[in-house]
Amino acid sequence: MNTLYPILRFTAAFALSASALLGAVAHAANATAIFAGGCFWCTEADFEKLPGVIAAESGYTAGQIPNPTYEMVSAGRTDHTEGVRVTYDPAKVTYSELVEYFWKTIDPSEKDRQFCDAGTQYRSGIYWGNEAERQIVLASREALKKTGRFKTIYTETEPASRFYLAEDYHQDYYKKNPLRYNYYRLSCGRNAQLDRIWK
């Protein structure tokens, strides 16, 4: 009994370590992508419907002023835009598929606005994290341009910069406040405009 006890302790410790390692590897296998599609409540809700997306977080990106707040950004006092950071499983959905999905959630022909929200803080954008993603984004934009669906595409396509998480009350807003969210989305005309331009 005394002889077996150290062995059992070692085996249990090894099992726990292996489990933790596998968990870390699985977590590391996830990837992130940053998009801006106007109101981040809506963009977050749209992406969290997509199979393979683990989570979408609302925040501020593509700006230089550190530690922006909602009051600052929404008033246009910074150069940030409202965006979302999408965490996804590349084995279930690819970066290219995220980009193609994103186009259908915005109006690329609108400059410095999306739907009823106007100002540079609501400009649309795709922000790549590496060279492979850059090529995917630019190729996708060029393919969309060639369709002739839009006379001009104003969606920003730039390298990703620091992403600042928005305040807690903005996260999962569509889940926490479904009545207010659905009223806002309807009154903003987002779905109606998307149906019209992408039909």
Q: Which domains does the chain have, with CATH numbers?
A: 30-198 (3.30.1060.10)
Percent of the chain exceeding pLDDT 70 equals: 86
| Tally of CB atoms within 10 A around 56 | 24
Q: Tell me, what's the pLDDT at 15?
A: 46
Look at residue 60 and tell me whether its pLDDT is greater than 50: yes
pLDDT digits (tens, 9 = 90+) for 98-151: 999 999 999 999 999 999 999 999 999 999 999 999 999 999 999 999 999 999
What is the Cα–Cα distance from 135 to 139, expressed in whole angstroms?
A: 6
pLDDT band at 24 (very low <50, low <70, confident <90, very high): very low
Look at residue 51 and tell me whether its pLDDT is greater than 90: yes
What is the Cα–Cα distance from 196 to 199, expressed in whole angstroms?
A: 6
Asked which of 1-10, 127-136, 184-193 is least confident by mean pLDDT, the reply is: 1-10
pLDDT digits (tens, 9 = 90+) for 169-181: 999 999 999 999 9
What is the Cα–Cα distance from 160 to 34, expressed in whole angstroms?
A: 7
Among candidate residues 39, 42, 116, 188, the one labeled active-site is: 39
Question: What residues contact residue 125 under an 8 Å CB cut-off, 6+ apart?
Answer: 35, 36, 61, 62, 81, 83, 155, 156, 157, 158
What is the Cα–Cα distance from 124 to 44, expressed in whole angstroms?
A: 13
Kindly report the pTM of this predicted structure.
0.86
pLDDT digits (tens, 9 = 90+) for 68-110: 999 999 999 999 999 999 999 999 999 999 999 999 999 999 9
Whether 116 sits among the annotated catalytic residues: the reply is: no
Q: Tell me, what's the pLDDT at 14?
A: 45
